[in-house]
Structure 1
Amino acid sequence: MTHEQRERRSYFIGFAACAAWTALAFGAVILRLDQITALWIIGVSALAQVVLQFRYFLHIDFSRQKREDLQLILFSALLLAIMVGGTVWILADLDKRMM
């Protein structure tokens, strides 16, 4: 199997897996499951999609060379979470003081 065929196969597997997780999330809503169950299914589906896209489309795995890329992505996510969390905290505090 050539490198191009392996690459194409990897993309196809990633696409099929992401489509299946998307269908699962849509199915939870279409079947009108109770709200908590549907939210859990959607949340797990979202996390699975992130992992699948890192692995199959961005080619991020646990090899030594790719580990630095993964650390960079995780650090960026941490900074984003701090900024969003701080903004929500400040706005909630302002709302409490205004009411």
Structure 2
Amino acid sequence: MSHDHNAAGASHGNTKQYTIGFILSVLLTVIPFGMVMAGMGETSRGLVIAVVAITAVAQILVQLIYFLHMNSSSEQRWNVIAFVYTILCIAVLLIGSVWIMNYLHYNMMI
């Protein structure tokens, strides 16, 4: 019997996984912070924005995999489905809002 599962079958991480997740999280936080504090935003603003966006997405993935233990296993299927549904709802809400605001802005300028 494995010690990585509780009575309900939910997977829990071990110290190695938490340590890897913590180190990756710190690195993904320090990289954009260091770029901004070094003043790179004044010379290459587009590069800094791209690095911040890429490290933010990577940070989300690290949090989901190492701390929330979301993976493709059969135990996590419903959690992943609920997460994907939530992301789709947020995307529809955000994209729809931007679309409506753009439409209203266009009509106000006529």
Q: TM-score, normalised by structure 1?
A: 0.85
Runs of 4+ displaced beyond 3 Å? none
Q: Which runs of 5+ in 1 are unaligned?
A: none
- Segment drifting more, 18-27 vs 29-38: 29-38
Report the counterpart of residue 27 of structure 1 in structure 2: 34
Q: TM-score, normalised by structure 2?
A: 0.77
Alpha-carbon displacement from aligned partner over 1:21-65 (angstroms, at most 9, x marks no partner)? 000111221233311111111111011111100011101112122
Report the counterpart of residue 67 of structure 1 in structure 2: 77
Q: Percent identity?
A: 28
Quick one: distance in 2 between partners of 1:32 and 1:38? 10
The structure number with the bigger radius of gyration is 2
Quick one: distance in 2 between partners of 1:20 and 1:52? 11
Quick one: distance in 2 between partners of 1:28 and 1:74? 32
More helix by share: 1
